[in-house]
């Protein structure tokens, strides 16, 4: 049963289309795939198992071509846009003929034992065969030939066998063997063989290998007026072509004075079967039908629902906070609702593309963060550039502060580290270790005899905001280029500590407030950021509160492709990821590549 048949031009425009009565499902998927393969010229699929389909497609294609010769001959796609190819009657007639002929032929049924030759043989006859005429004949090839020729005279039921017979019969006529018995033919051939053998030595010199003309590849003629500098036709490579290619070339028929390639493509699945005969040379009135199937569809929320659900789950699996994944999908749906889909696109690919674009947009910095330039500007104003680091415990504040120190030193700036984590035991010592290491990497001798990194510390239990203020004043006096203020890690729910942080920032007005967060967190990252920002706003003591200016995303090396925290953090703050920590050495500091993150996020 044929469900779907369409004839379209090489450009993918539907000239005519048939849809079987039983078809209720959309053929979008297979037709899209099909058109993709047609347009890209990469595939030739033949999966459909209907026995009559080859001949049927040829018939349809020839009928269509002959009938609409003039219309197809007209160049220019738009000229034929309104032409209605009334081909239904011809198609139905051809389909009926094809189905009838396939039924008439039917599969060759097996012979019963009684019908078979074996049933005619007696034991005696078998013995006679073994010891009789055959014993006198040379064993091997010729015996086989004799048998074959004998078989030829028997009536054969299967079509294929009939074909064989007729070709063998033809051979006999050509060789002048008509009316000869098998023995006589063998004898004749034997004589011919000996004659040839005696003649061959004399002929040999003349039979020296003829200089063979090198087979030249023919350039493909692109019938839609296209051209290519590359020869893409490999069908006659080495003088051979594979089955599929032969099949394609065999169908090149001259239509309307040109030589359009006429190709057949078949797509079939359990539920959907599509047969498409493709001819080149025009477009027609059924254009709208394919549009309905594969494109120009106005998207509704319902169309996108299942795809959006999958996308949401995918994002959550990649560590995007659940709430943000939902919000993102909602905004994509709103953006796409009512939009007309591209002609050959699917809902899934449209949604995916829109989501991808949104993600890239989220990660692209809304404002310029150029620390090195800002430091130089501060230098010109004869003041240090101040960066404050905040975040919860253990996320990598101190480590990444040290990495940023190293990066600044490498760029020619001097750094003062303000040890304002007066809370956690060991925090000051940890910073001192970093200071020593950094100074050994950049010895004072290389920097005019002064250590390029210094630590400003007042021990534990003191007011962090006060220490930061002193450090900034010291840096100004000592002409340090940058002050990096380390603060105690605190949980976002710890109100007193959050108030203290807000105060430190409000009092010292750093140039940059960086939130340090782990790439490992999902939903937690959003909670942290929302609460940190809220605390800064609540306790800022000014009309214009200083909020988080940027993010340091740490431990990025540990998350594989679960990069969702980057999205959650930037989405919730609207602030850029300024640095990415990718390990535990001073060199493991990177800037974010938005497209790489999005591609990791979209990866299945
Ligand atoms: P703090 O409490 O926020 O100051 O966190 P630390 O700076 O003490 O870092 C906590 C742990 O995280 C340490 O063992 C660091 O070596 C480690 N760490 C920090 N940044 C990174 C990073 O980018 N990648 C990896 N793999 N580990 C890191």
CA of 578 to the centre of ligand 1 (A): 17
Measuring CA to CA, which residue among 8, 6, 604, 12 is closest to residue 272?
6
Flag whether 384 is in a domain: yes
Same domain, 422 and 558: yes
Measure the CA–CA gap between 8 and 12, rounded to whole angstroms. Answer: 6
Measuring CA to CA, which residue among 14, 96, 101, 5 is closest to residue 57?
5
CA of 518 to the centre of ligand 1 (A): 9
**pLDDT at residue 346, rounded to an integer:** 86
Among 307, 332, 363, residue at a domain's last position: 363
- Decide whether any atom of ligand 1 lies within 6 Å of the 394 Cβ: yes
Interstrand relation of 512-518 and 385-390 (parallel, antiparallel or unpaired): parallel
**pLDDT at residue 593, rounded to an integer:** 92
CA of 393 to the centre of ligand 1 (A): 10
Q: Token pair for residue 509?
A: 């007005």
Measure the CA–CA gap between 385 and 402, rounded to whole angstroms. Answer: 16
Q: Token pair for residue 246?
A: 């032969």
**Which of ligand 1's atoms lies nearest the C-alpha of 393?**
2
- Decide whether any atom of ligand 1 lies within 6 Å of the 400 Cβ: yes
- At 27, give phi and psi (nearest 5°): -100, 15
CA of 450 to the centre of ligand 1 (A): 29
Flag whether 283 is in a domain: no
- Which class for 284: exposed (0-12), middle (13-18), buried (19 or more C-beta within 10 A)? buried
Positive or negative, the CA dihedral 372, 377, 382, 386 is negative
DSSP state at residue 97: H
Domain with 75 in it:
4-99
Q: Token pair for residue 337?
A: 């609702």
Same domain, 477 and 567: yes
CA of 438 to the centre of ligand 1 (A): 17
Same domain, 543 and 464: yes
- Decide whether any atom of ligand 1 lies within 6 Å of the 157 Cβ: no
Flag whether 46 is in a domain: yes
- Decide whether any atom of ligand 1 lies within 6 Å of the 65 Cβ: no
CATH number of residue 84's parent domain = 3.30.450.60
- Decide whether any atom of ligand 1 lies within 6 Å of the 584 Cβ: yes
Q: Chain centroid to CA 1: how far?
A: 33
Measured distance between the N- and C-terminal CA atoms of the chain, rounded to whole angstroms: 37
**Which of ligand 1's atoms lies nearest the C-alpha of 582?**
23
Ligand 1, residues 391, 394, 395, 396: which to mutate, most atoms within 8 A of Cβ?
396
**pLDDT at residue 194, rounded to an integer:** 58
Residue of the CA atom closest to atom 9 of ligand 1: 396
- Decide whether any atom of ligand 1 lies within 6 Å of the 582 Cβ: yes
- Decide whether any atom of ligand 1 lies within 6 Å of the 463 Cβ: no
Measure the CA–CA gap between 265 and 267, rounded to whole angstroms. Answer: 7
- Decide whether any atom of ligand 1 lies within 6 Å of the 555 Cβ: yes
Flag whether 229 is in a domain: no
Positive or negative, the CA dihedral 180, 186, 191, 196 is positive
CA of 395 to the centre of ligand 1 (A): 6
Measure the CA–CA gap between 583 and 558, rounded to whole angstroms. Answer: 8
Residues 6+ apart with CB under 8 A from 280: 9, 10, 11, 223, 224, 255, 260, 261, 262
Same domain, 81 and 41: yes
Among 77, 99, 121, residue at a domain's last position: 99
Same domain, 355 and 377: no
Q: Give the tens place of pLDDT for each residue, 419-435.
A: 999 999 999 999 999 99
- At 45, give phi and psi (nearest 5°): -105, 140
Flag whether 137 is in a domain: no
DSSP state at residue 27: -
For the sheet containing 550-554, what is the strand order?
453-456, 415-420, 482-487, 385-390, 512-518, 550-554, 577-581, 589-590
Same domain, 444 and 547: yes
CATH number of residue 465's parent domain = 3.40.50.300
Q: Token pair for residue 418?
A: 């303000």
Same domain, 477 and 345: no
Ligand 1, residues 563, 584, 589, 590: which to mutate, most atoms within 8 A of Cβ?
584
**In sequence order, what are the beta bridge partners of 273?**
268
- At 455, give phi and psi (nearest 5°): -110, 130
* Number of structural domains the chain divides into: 3
Contact (CB, 8 A) for 564 and 381: no
Residue of the CA atom closest to atom 20 of ligand 1: 396
Q: Give the tens place of pLDDT for each residue, 8-43.
A: 666 666 677 777 655 544 555 555 555 554 443 333
**In sequence order, what are the beta bridge partners of 515?**
390, 551
Same domain, 389 and 436: yes
- At 269, give phi and psi (nearest 5°): -140, 180
Residues 6+ apart with CB under 8 A from 383: 476
Measure the CA–CA gap between 468 and 473, rounded to whole angstroms. Answer: 9
CA of 563 to the centre of ligand 1 (A): 18
Measure the CA–CA gap between 330 and 356, rounded to whole angstroms. Answer: 14
Residue of the CA atom closest to atom 7 of ligand 1: 396
CA of 464 to the centre of ligand 1 (A): 22
Ligand 1, residues 391, 395, 399: which to mutate, most atoms within 8 A of Cβ?
399
Measure the CA–CA gap between 161 and 172, rounded to whole angstroms. Answer: 17
Same domain, 310 and 441: no
Q: Which runs of consecutive H residues, i.e. helices, occur in 539-575?
A: 564-573
- Decide whether any atom of ligand 1 lies within 6 Å of the 80 Cβ: no
- Decide whether any atom of ligand 1 lies within 6 Å of the 399 Cβ: yes
Helices (H) and strands (E) in the chain, counts: 23, 12
- Angle, helix 347-363 to helix 564-573, in steps of 10 degrees: 60
- Decide whether any atom of ligand 1 lies within 6 Å of the 585 Cβ: no
CA of 491 to the centre of ligand 1 (A): 17
Measuring CA to CA, which residue among 232, 335, 264, 323 is closest to residue 564?
323
- Decide whether any atom of ligand 1 lies within 6 Å of the 554 Cβ: yes
Residue of the CA atom closest to atom 18 of ligand 1: 396
Measuring CA to CA, which residue among 596, 560, 563, 573 is closest to residue 360?
596
Q: Which runs of consecutive H residues, i.e. helices, occur in 111-217?
A: 117-120, 123-131, 133-136, 141-152, 159-174, 182-203
Specify the pTM.
0.57
Same domain, 376 and 350: no
Measure the CA–CA gap between 311 and 325, rounded to whole angstroms. Answer: 8
- Decide whether any atom of ligand 1 lies within 6 Å of the 426 Cβ: no
- At 441, give phi and psi (nearest 5°): -75, -30
Same domain, 358 and 461: no
- Decide whether any atom of ligand 1 lies within 6 Å of the 312 Cβ: no
DSSP state at residue 282: -
Among 342, 363, 384, residue at a domain's last position: 363
Q: Token pair for residue 490?
A: 């605190």
CA of 555 to the centre of ligand 1 (A): 7
- Decide whether any atom of ligand 1 lies within 6 Å of the 517 Cβ: no
CA of 559 to the centre of ligand 1 (A): 14
Residues 6+ apart with CB under 8 A from 49: 268
Q: Token pair for residue 579?
A: 């640095």
Q: Which residues of the chain have pLDDT under 70?
A: 1-3, 8-14, 20-51, 75-82, 105-183, 185-187, 189-190, 193-297, 343
- Decide whether any atom of ligand 1 lies within 6 Å of the 395 Cβ: yes
- Decide whether any atom of ligand 1 lies within 6 Å of the 362 Cβ: no
**In sequence order, what are the beta bridge partners of 581?**
589
**pLDDT at residue 598, rounded to an integer:** 96
Flag whether 291 is in a domain: no
**Which of ligand 1's atoms lies nearest the C-alpha of 430?**
8
Same domain, 491 and 426: yes
Flag whether 116 is in a domain: no
**Which of ligand 1's atoms lies nearest the C-alpha of 581?**
23
- Decide whether any atom of ligand 1 lies within 6 Å of the 489 Cβ: yes
Flag whether 131 is in a domain: no
**pLDDT at residue 177, rounded to an integer:** 52
Residues 6+ apart with CB under 8 A from 165: 152, 156
């Amino acid at each position: 049963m044929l469900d779907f048949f369409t004839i379209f031009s090489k450009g993918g425009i539907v000239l005519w289309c048939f849809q079987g009565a039983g078809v209720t499902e959309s053929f979008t998927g297979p037709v899209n795939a099909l058109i993709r393969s047609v347009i890209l010229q990469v595939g030739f699929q033949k999966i459909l198992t209907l026995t009559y389909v080859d001949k049927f497609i040829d018939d349809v294609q020839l009928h269509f071509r002959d009938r609409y010769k003039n219309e197809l001959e007209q160049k220019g796609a738009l000229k034929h846009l309104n032409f209605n190819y009334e081909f239904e009657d011809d198609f139905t007639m051809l389909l009926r003929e094809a189905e009838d002929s396939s039924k008439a032929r039917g599969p060759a049924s097996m012979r019963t034992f009684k019908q078979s030759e074996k049933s005619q043989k007696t034991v005696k006859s078998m013995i006679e065969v073994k010891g009789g005429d055959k014993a006198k004949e040379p064993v091997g090839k010729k015996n086989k030939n004799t048998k074959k020729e004998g078989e030829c005279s028997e009536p054969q039921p299967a079509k294929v066998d009939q074909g064989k017979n007729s070709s063998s019969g033809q051979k006999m006529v050509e060789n002048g063997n008509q009316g000869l018995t098998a023995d006589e033919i063998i004898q004749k051939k034997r004589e011919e063989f000996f004659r040839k053998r005696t003649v061959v030595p004399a002929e040999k010199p003349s039979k020296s290998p003829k200089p063979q003309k090198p087979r030249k590849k023919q350039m493909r003629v692109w019938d839609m007026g296209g051209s290519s500098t590359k020869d893409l036709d490999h069908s006659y490579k080495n003088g051979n072509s594979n089955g599929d290619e032969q099949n394609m070339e065999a169908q090149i028929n001259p239509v309307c004075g040109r030589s359009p390639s006429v190709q057949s493509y078949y797509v079939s699945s359990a539920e959907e079967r599509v047969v498409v005969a493709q001819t080149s040379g025009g477009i027609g009135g059924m254009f709208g039908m394919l549009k309905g199937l594969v494109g120009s569809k106005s998207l509704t929320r319902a169309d996108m629902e299942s795809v959006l659900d999958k996308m949401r789950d995918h994002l959550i699996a990649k560590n995007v906070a659940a709430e943000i994944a939902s919000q993102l999908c909602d905004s994509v749906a709103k953006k796409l609702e009512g939009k007309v889909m591209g002609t050959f696109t699917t809902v899934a690919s449209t949604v995916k593309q829109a989501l991808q674009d949104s993600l890239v947009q989220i990660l692209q910095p809304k404002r310029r963060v150029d620390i090195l330039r800002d430091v130089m500007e501060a230098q010109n104003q004869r003041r240090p550039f101040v960066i404050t680091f905040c975040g919860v415990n253990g996320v990598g504040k101190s480590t990444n502060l040290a990495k940023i120190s190293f990066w600044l030193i490498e760029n020619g700036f001097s750094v003062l580290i303000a040890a304002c984590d007066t809370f956690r035991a060991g925090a000051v010592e940890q910073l001192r270790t970093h200071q020593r290491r950094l100074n050994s990497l950049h010895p004072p001798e290389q920097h005019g005899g002064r250590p390029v990194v210094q630590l400003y510390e007042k021990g534990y239990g003191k007011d962090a905001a006060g220490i930061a203020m002193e450090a900034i004043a010291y840096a100004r006096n000592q002409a340090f280029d940058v002050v990096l203020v380390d603060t105690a890690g605190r949980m976002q729910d710890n109100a007193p500590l959050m108030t203290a942080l807000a105060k430190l920032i409000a009092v010292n007005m750093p140039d940059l407030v960086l939130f340090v967060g782990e790439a490992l967190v999902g939903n937690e990252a959003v909670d942290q950021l929302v609460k940190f920002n809220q605390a800064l706003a609540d306790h800022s003591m000014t009309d214009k509160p200083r909020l988080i200016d940027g993010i340091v995303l740490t431990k990025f090396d540990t998350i594989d492709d679960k990069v969702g925290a980057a999205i959650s953090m930037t989405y919730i703050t609207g602030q850029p990821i300024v640095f990415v920590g990718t390990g535990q050495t001073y060199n493991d500091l990177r800037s974010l590549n938005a497209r790489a993150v999005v591609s990791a996020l979209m990866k299945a």
